[in-house]
Amino acid sequence: MDADHPVSTVPPASAPPASRDATVPGTPTPGDGLHQRPLRLGRRVFAPTELVVMAIVNRTPDSFFDRGATFGEAEALDAVARAVADGAEIIDIGGVKAAPGGEVSAAEELRRVGGFVAAVRARHPELVISVDTWRAEVGRVVAGEGADLLNDAWGGVDPGLAEVAAEFDTGLVCTHAGHLPPRTRPHRMTYDDVVADIIATTVGLAERAASLGVHADSVLIDPGHDFGKNSRHSLEATRRLPELAATGWPVLVAMSNKDFIGETLDTGVDERLEGTLAATALSAWLGARVFRAHQVPETIRTLRTVSAIRGDTGLAVARRGVA
């Protein structure tokens, strides 16, 4: 496999299985790809039944998970190459950690991600490149360098970012962040209905982006696990993912090793893989399509299994009972 031309993480079947219509009352049903549009990002078109991994590469010295392992440019480029070789089809590059901390100006954020996007694009022409930023001025630079997707994790706090996406013909992630300023931890957040708030916010942002000229098939919505939410909110958002999928906008989930997993299991950051993969599998079954992940091979194997159970893909090999 040519790393610059990655094969789809989970390729779609030629037709949905007939058994998809025969669900047992009272049991969860898989996300129905028939009611979703294809997702177009950069040079790639992802079919409604494809489950796509977005690998995280942080150009930050203080990320909660990797603790600065990919802050250096050489290390970050190596991490991109590994993720692509492992099968990730989107790389999400971030220059500012989400948690509170020292101020990172727009100029410093650009020092970390500007230029780096161009270097990744030169090495991986077919790769979908995403940049995690809430700032329009950063979005404008990285879109000019070849970014295909602007991942706005802070809920449209800078309305100009959607305008940049329209101008440069990039995709946009519209996230629910609890209506908080960037890099703010939630404190005693309350909602009458957290999922209703998520849907109203993300769909509103998606519709605004489309009205500005962002292609509707290049817009995703993200419930924003842990952003503006306590752990019970994040669990509820996961249980009710079919409601987000029913909006017709492709759903991205960013759950990897987050605090709601840690509080569910009472584990530290380095012991959350099993919980993350369980949440990933359930989210795929319930309709999510893009999965932001730190551990790419494990996430891909999990999604391949879900896809096979759903009937969207076949076996990698067939030995048992056929000899």
Pairing of strands 39-41, 44-46: antiparallel
Pairing of strands 52-58, 290-293: parallel
For Cα atoms 99, 100, 103, give the angle at the middle one, nearest 5 degrees. Answer: 120
Which residue among the candidates 258, 272, 304, 310 is catalytic per the annotation?
Answer: 258
Which residue among the candidates 112, 289, 292, 310 is catalytic per the annotation?
Answer: 292
Domain positions in the chain are: 49-97+106-310
| Predicted pLDDT of residue 150 | 98
* Mean pLDDT over the full length of the chain: 90
Alpha-carbon gap, residue 164 to 273, rounded angstroms: 35
43 catalytically annotated = no
Alpha-carbon gap, residue 233 to 254, rounded angstroms: 14
Structure-block tokens of residue 122: 């030169």
Helices (H) and strands (E) in the chain, counts: 11, 10
pTM here is 0.89
Q: Mind listing the pLDDT tens digit for each residue in 218-257?
A: 999 999 999 999 999 999 999 999 999 999 999 999 999 9
Per-residue model confidence as pLDDT tens for the chain (323 residues): 343 333 334 444 333 333 333 333 344 455 554 478 999 999 999 999 999 999 999 999 988 788 779 999 999 999 999 999 999 999 999 999 999 999 999 999 999 999 999 999 999 999 999 999 999 999 999 999 999 999 999 999 999 999 999 999 999 999 999 999 999 999 999 999 999 999 999 999 999 999 999 999 999 999 999 999 999 999 999 999 999 999 999 999 999 999 999 999 999 999 999 999 999 999 999 999 999 999 999 999 999 999 999 999 999 999 999 86
Evaluated on CA atoms 77, 78, 83, 86, the torsion sign reads: positive
| Predicted pLDDT of residue 7 | 36
CATH number of 49-97+106-310: 3.20.20.20
301 catalytically annotated = no
